[in-house]
Amino acid sequence: MTQHDTFIGGIWRRASGSAELDVIDSFTEQPFARYRLSSTDDVSAAVKSAKEALAGWSARTPAERAAFIRKIAVNLRTHADELTEAISREVGMPRKLAARIQVGAPISAWHMYADLVAEFEWESRVGHSLVVEAPVGIVACITPWNYPLHQITGKVAPALLAGCTVVLKPSEIAPTSAFLLAKAIEESDLPAGVFNLLHGSGIEIGEALVTHPDIDMVSFTGSTRAGRHVAALASGDIKRVALELGGKSAALVLPGADLHAAVKATLGGCFLNSGQTCSAPTRLLVPRGLVVDAGHLIAASIEGYKMGDPAEPTTRLGPLVSSAQRQRVRGLIDAALAEGAQLLTNPAARVPETGFFVPPTVLTGVTPGMAIAQEEVFGPVLVLMAYDTLDEAIDIANGTDYGLAGAVWAGTAQEALAVARRLRTGQIDINGAAFNPAAPFGGFKKSGVGRENGRHGIEEFLEPISIQLPGTYFESAEAETVTL
């Protein structure tokens, strides 16, 4: 598939960049799609289109905007098979999982946002003031490759619902879902200019968007290094910034917890999407006396993580997204071994001949100061760490630059909750509780600024305006309501 066009002002128009970029199948290691890159002229056109559409879109009622959100969700469903195949090939997630996690969940989230419009408080009263929630304006959404449609949905859907107009730049590594979303939006008859799509690198197109004087807000998901750069660029114009960045999440097992359940869930979370998940639990902290038992459980469970073609139903662990990502992960493993860590698993076992694979890897003998215990790996790598006291365990869990997610396992939920309240991280699972897409998602420290998902996700794209009114206004308004 070759795509020369991008979506600006409600129409498909030829991207004016000078180059085309191949999208690589992470299993075959061969190109399967090609996209023409946008230029900085396209950036100007997209922002201009968004600016022209802002007044009309923001003037629509929330219910009217929600109706478009629901139409987009319905139309996305018609592209579900295309989305599943493309994301699986780009990212490497096994197709059976991609259908549910990479496609089904984001489509459901579009419906969730449409449902939220009725319960969201768009206006409120504070004394003699009317507080109106107003859209922040034109939003640049810059999204990563690991959960492409999910990350796009977490920004574009609430921004549109809030009354903002959007310019989206997806990752050039996994752009296909963004183009299929643009198709769904076109089929929904969304007013021209409300949503615009660009394709290109972060260095050129991303930076041009972030620094454009008419962009009011930047919502970015990616690495902490890139997020720091985005925030610095945006600060020149005092733009509002939301950042969802890296993580180094800990699963903390307390004495008396179900160790088998904790190990199974931690491995599942760590190896999901081949470890290419910012909130993955990549550190398993257990009492020192349980390290050997935990190791045996890990060794037994890891045999089930069959590597192979993501299209095959029996594949549980797919390849990484690229050769560069594989090289980076291998480098971090080698560095950990040089620091004194030991392999609990066989890294050479059953690696397919093609594909950017890193086998499921578990390291023991890891101390908190090692790079492998501090840095985000973004690959299927878990470290097993021992602790002696609860205070030490909490210090280890909190002892990184990140604070995105975590888990606590204990004999009772009450015991786990007491520990969870001491963790400086944005999302914590207790005894394997399920992910909640309506609850806020975001982090502490270098894991970012702001929150996504649900009501909190909508609030990121709103600015409260306080309108002071004469004291008699509310009395007369109430009287008119009673008369009606």
Instruction: Please give the positions annotated as active site.
Output: 244, 278
∠ CA 292-293-299 to the nearest 5 degrees? Answer: 90
Q: How far apart are CA 81 and CA 73, in angstroms?
A: 14
- Unique residue bearing structure tokens 């996209």: 35
Tell me 434's DSSP state. P
**Distances, alpha carbon 446 to alpha carbons 225, 244, 449, in Å:** 9, 9, 8
- Other residues' Cβ atoms within 10 Å of the Cβ of residue 100: 10
* Residues 212, 58: Cα–Cα separation, whole Å: 21
**Helix, strand, or coil (residue 185):** helix
Instruction: Please say whether the beta carbons of 143 and 159 come within 8 A.
Output: no
Instruction: Write down the residue that tokens 């894991």 correspond to.
Output: 447
From 170, 116, 115, 147, select the one nearest 3 (Cα to Cα): 170
Whole-number Å distance between alpha carbons of 247 and 403: 6
Cα 244 to chain centroid distance, Å, stands at 7
Cβ 50 vs Cβ 42: under 8 Å = no
Q: Are 139 and 166 in contact (CB under 8 A)?
A: yes
For tokens 């045996």, name the residue.
296
- Measured N-to-C along each axis, helices 259-271 and 291-301 cross at an angle, to the nearest 10 degrees, of 50
Cβ neighbours of residue 108 closer than 8 Å, sequence gap 6 or more: 437
Within a 10 A sphere around the Cβ of 467, how many other Cβ atoms?
A: 11
Residue 35 CA to residue 29 CA, distance in Å, equals 17
